[in-house]
Each structure stands twice: as structure tokens, then as C-alpha cells.
Amino acid sequence: MARATTMRRSAADWRTLPLARVGLTRRELATLRMLDTPAKIQAFVNRIPINHEHDGETVLSVREVLRQRRAHCIEGAFVAACALWARGEPPLVLHMDCDISDYPHVITLFRRGHCWGAVSKTNGSRLRFRDAVYRSLRELALSYFHEYTNKRGEKTLRSYTAAFDLRRIDPALWVTNRDSCWEAHDRLEALRHYALLSRTQIRHLARCDPFERRVGRFVQYPPPKNKARRTQR
């Protein structure tokens, strides 16, 4: 992917840059500004059909998600973070990593008082919104643990990052990028991760039972019948 070159600012400048100056159109800004609560942001990203990536892997920017009307987890996280930014809140995200048998996940963070909540784009029902009732990011990440499973019913969540302010990345790389945002993706993936479990705890994890596994296969946006399904968050 060719690196975006529309902005050459320092990271400090990006953190103070108003969203209205990152290159979004008035219509795009109006769409984001209508989402004035985390619950409304979650409902909005839920209504965006899942990106099944039938033509190859993507990391769509905010603009491309709004234009193409499809998104998977990190793409939905970009939109949710941008919507919070539009309301004057920091665009914070958290990257969660997992066992090699599964896929990482990215959530958008918000705070109410001293507690954390999250907006989360996923095709299933269990890794979505979290109310702001968690006293730490570790508590919040652990709220996803039991339901974070692979096809074999194994619990796969392993680690999480600190809150990352997306304004530390050039907005041209994740807000208005016409190409896939691999540079922003790689920046999140490379963040320091904090372990949630010890090796002993991992060895003693129980698998989900057959009923839980059946429920976990229910999705909001099934792939077209003539397309192969790609596993993703």
C-alpha cells in the first residue's frame, strides 16, 4: 500500500487537529455527529453489513466504510472512534490478541466517570457493546474472555493493550484513506500487549459446551450462499 502523503504534521499536531479539518465531507461529518451517544454509535455500526472480504483482505478507512457500507472489527472501530472524536471525545481503541487459532479484535473505548465501556463491531452477538461499568481496561478486556472462542469451542483471548489514541496516527491513514489502512493496522498490532492469563491457567481452560458452540455460530450477516465464508471477528 502506498503511504498517504496528504498530511505532514507532527503527532502533537494531529492530537489537536479538529475532526472538521481531516478531509471528511460535510455529509460524512453530519453522519458521524448524529451519533451523540456510545449506544447510538453501536447501533450504527451494527447496521453496517459485515465485511466478508470476498475479494481479499481489507482494512477500510472511515470514509470507505461509509461509502461501501461494509465493515469488520477494526473498520468498525475506526468509524466508532471517529464518531466519538466528532463529539469532542478522544478516539481511543484497544487491540486484543489471541491464540494463533483465532483472530485478533479491536474495540473502541469510551469513559463515563472513572469507568470504561466499549463499542465493538462483530458479526456475532457476544463480543459487542460494553456499558461503562469496568474500573480498568483489564476488567473490560476480561469481559470478552468467555465468549472469545474459536470454532472448536476453545477460549482464545490472551492479551490486551493500553488505550491508544488514533490521533497519534496521521488521519490520512485511517480516516480518509482510499486504500486499505495496513499502516494503521500494523501500528495497533505492534503495541505492547499485557497478558490476561498465565500458562497454567491456559492449560486448564475448559471448552465451551455444544450448546454454547451452536449459539456462537449465529451471525447477523450470513455470507451469500455462493461465496465461501471467511472466519473473522
The CATH number given to whatever domain includes residue 174 is 3.10.620
* pLDDT score at 1: 38
Structural domain contains residue 135? yes
In a domain, 23, yes or no: yes
Rounded CA separation 122/53 (Å) = 14
For residue 22, the model assigns a pLDDT of 87
| Structural domain includes residue 229 | no
Q: Looking at the domain assignment, is residue 8 inside a domain?
A: no
**Number of domains observed in the structure of the chain:** 1
Query: What domain range includes position 139?
Result: 19-215
Residue 1 belongs to some domain of the structure:
no
Q: Is residue 57 part of a domain?
A: yes
Q: How confident is the model at residue 193 (pLDDT cuts 50, 70, 90)?
A: very high
Note the pTM of the prediction, 2 decimals: 0.91
pLDDT in tens, 107-161: 999 999 999 999 999 999 999 999 999 999 999 999 999 999 999 999 999 999 9
**150: in domain:** yes
> Residue 13: inside a domain, yes or no?
no
